[in-house]
């Protein structure tokens, strides 16, 4: 789980802000809309099922999910989004993957290139860093919802591949194809998760100092602020002391 706890801390800090939540819901709705264009029924559309699971994992209201599906079913014009993955390096040699859904490739590329360049990074070619990650489903629960043993047994029974429990909570990892069913099973037993999403999990992590970590956080914030960016994944590691200094 190298690097995940630090990344989770970043996302938790950001997720606590109402403005960030509203933006997150808009991005989740866009993902649902795109997925639903291949079929409005989750049981027949794995991508839609996964998108809905991620939205519920973020506590997105059911009526907002329903509206996104209905919008796709209505065939509204002007919402033809293209999926693009950008890869590059941030300060300290940290690998960065940016996933976007955009209706204007040039605008998005310009925004992302500018963000990298302003924060000491540079964009690379496709697949220049993704080989250092595994795409997985990640689900998080607060520690108080279950004992480590109960969470481990429930997660593996649901189809998860790995479970890590500690003071920060329970972190469940599963294959992307199993994401929807794992979220649904755990939700049925423990209630809605703290977070649930598809992400790129780093195979190894890069240690960075406080200065590099500070700049990386600014880069992540800038990228997340783009309406076109769906997810940002990184592979850096910082000590607890540095993380406390940056988020305190």
Name the nearest CA neighbour of 184 among 6, 9, 57: 57
Residues β-bridged to residue 224: none
Residue 160, C-beta contacts closer than 8 angstroms, at least 6 positions apart: 139, 172, 173, 174, 178, 182
**Rounded-to-10 torsion of CA 61, 135, 206, 139:** 40
**Mean pLDDT score of the chain:** 87
The class (CATH top level) of 133-202 is alpha beta
* Cβ atoms < 10 Å from Cβ of 126: 10
**Spatial distance between the Cα atoms of 138 and 172, rounded to a whole number of angstroms:** 6
Identify the H or E element spanning 28: helix 18-36
Please give the CATH topology (third level) of the domain spanning 4-73.
Arc Repressor Mutant, subunit A (1.10.10)
- Check residue 180 and report its DSSP letter: H
Residues in the chain: 248
Percent residues over pLDDT 70 in the chain: 90
Q: Which CATH architecture group holds 82-131+205-235?
A: 2-Layer Sandwich (3.30)
Q: How far apart are CA 114 and CA 67, in angstroms?
A: 34
Predicted local distance difference test score (pLDDT) of residue 168:
86
Please say if the pLDDT value at position 111 is more than 80: yes
Residues of the chain with CATH 3.30.70.980: 82-131+205-235, 133-202
Mean pLDDT value of segment 94-107: 94
> What pLDDT score was predicted for residue 163?
96
Q: What integer is the mean pLDDT of 154-158?
A: 96
């Amino acid at each position: 789980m190298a690097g995940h706890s630090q990344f989770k801390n970043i996302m938790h800090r950001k997720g606590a802000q109402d403005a960030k939540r509203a933006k997150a819901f808009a991005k989740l709705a866009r993902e649902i809309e795109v997925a639903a264009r291949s079929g409005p029924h989750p049981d027949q559309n794995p991508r839609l099922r996964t998108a809905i699971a991620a939205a519920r994992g973020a506590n997105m209201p059911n009526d907002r999910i329903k509206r996104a599906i209905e919008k796709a079913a209505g065939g509204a014009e002007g919402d033809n989004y293209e999926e693009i993955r950008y890869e590059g390096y941030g300060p300290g040699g940290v690998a960065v993957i940016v996933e976007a859904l955009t209706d204007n490739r040039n605008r998005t590329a310009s925004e992302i290139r500018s963000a990298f360049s302003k924060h000491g990074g540079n964009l690379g070619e496709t697949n220049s860093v993704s080989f250092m990650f595994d795409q997985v489903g990640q689900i998080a629960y607060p520690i108080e919802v279950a004992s480590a043993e109960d969470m481990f047994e429930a997660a593996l029974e649901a189809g998860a591949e790995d479970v890590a429990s500690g003071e920060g909570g329970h972190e469940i990892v599963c294959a992307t194809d199993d994401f929807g069913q794992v979220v649904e099973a755990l939700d049925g037993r423990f209630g809605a998760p703290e977070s649930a999403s598809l992400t790129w999990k780093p195979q190894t992590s890069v240690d960075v100092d406080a200065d590099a970590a500070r700049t990386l956080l600014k880069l992540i914030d800038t990228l997340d602020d783009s309406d076109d960016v769906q997810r940002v994944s990184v592979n850096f590691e910082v000590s607890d002391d540095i993380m406390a200094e940056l988020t305190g």
